[in-house]
């Protein structure tokens, strides 16, 4: 997680951060520790891509869009802004996948994103909103199966909450045109930003409480 996200969360600057890692929903915490910054790190990305490459460029490009939303400020997003936010969400979801015991994101998605710096094919990104000044939290679903009446495709779903902003990414591989269709109150609770549909102004009409955030993060598991 980039360090600037901590300062974007209302009231988080200068405070210690308690990290709680949990492998199973409702299960015990695997690890609890307190430090002065976010420590979700994956030592699998070379310096030329991250600190001095396209990932750093993406952080610079997306910050003017993400920072107001993390702080709970309404933000219009046109096509260019949605593409930047979607790329950041996809990149972050793929990185978080490497931090989970069961890695389900396909290798092809890493290769494609490294080549194009855009969300890979068969990737969908939505934005929602949380009513509180929330911490950073994420939920990663492994062994996700998307199917229609004739076919199925395997992939992953990642939901990331940062301050007031919630980003949800679903990606899969194997079959084209199998699109995830489950909704939590449809467009009232979330906006699709990838693939692009229309200009939006975040937040959506329905802002989620913590219980709804937990339901939202697991909606593709049922």
pLDDT digits (tens, 9 = 90+) for 46-81: 555 555 688 889 999 999 999 999 999 999 999 999
Question: What phi and psi values does residue 157 have, to the nearest 5 degrees?
Answer: -135, 130
Q: What is the pLDDT of residues 157-187, one digit of tens each?
A: 889 888 899 999 998 876 666 666 656 666 7
Domain ranges for the chain, please list them: 4-221
Residue with the larger pLDDT of the pair 70 and 151: 70
Residue with tokens 């200009």: 199
Q: What tokens does 185 get? A: 């109150």
Tokens of 131: 């009513």
- 105 has a pLDDT exceeding 90: no
**In DSSP terms, which residues pair with 168 in a beta bridge?**
126, 159
Q: Tokens 């955030």 — which residue? A: 213
Asked whether the predicted pLDDT for residue 19 surpasses 70, the reply is no
Indicate if the alpha-carbon torsion angle 179, 182, 188, 193 is positive or negative.
Answer: negative
Per the listing, tokens 């495709």 go with 153
- CA 192 to chain CA centroid, nearest Å: 13
Residue 140 to residue 219: CA distance in whole angstroms:
12
Cis preceding linkage at 195, omega within 30 = yes
Distances (CA, A) of 79 to 73, 116, 194: 19, 17, 10
């Amino acid at each position: 997680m980039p360090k600037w996200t901590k300062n974007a969360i209302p009231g988080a600057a200068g405070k210690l951060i308690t990290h709680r890692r949990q492998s199973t929903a409702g299960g015990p915490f695997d690890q609890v520790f307190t430090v002065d910054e976010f420590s979700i790190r994956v030592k699998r990305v070379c310096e030329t891509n991250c600190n001095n490459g396209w990932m750093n460029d993406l952080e610079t490009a997306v910050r003017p869009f993400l920072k107001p939303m993390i702080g709970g400020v309404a933000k219009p997003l046109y096509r260019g802004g949605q593409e930047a936010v979607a790329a950041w969400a996809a990149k972050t979801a793929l990185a978080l996948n490497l931090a989970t015991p069961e890695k389900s994101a396909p290798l092809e998605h890493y290769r494609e994103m490294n080549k194009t710096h855009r969300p890979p094919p068969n990737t969908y990104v939505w934005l929602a909103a949380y009513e509180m000044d929330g911490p950073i939290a994420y939920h990663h679903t492994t062994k996700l199966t998307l199917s229609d009446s004739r076919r199925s495709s395997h992939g992953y779903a990642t939901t990331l909450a940062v301050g007031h902003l919630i980003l949800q990414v679903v990606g899969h591989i194997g079959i084209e045109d199998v699109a995830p269709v489950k909704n939590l109150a449809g467009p009232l609770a979330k906006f699709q930003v990838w693939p692009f549909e229309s200009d939006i102004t975040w937040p959506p009409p329905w802002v989620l409480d913590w219980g709804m955030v937990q339901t939202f993060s697991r909606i593709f598991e049922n």
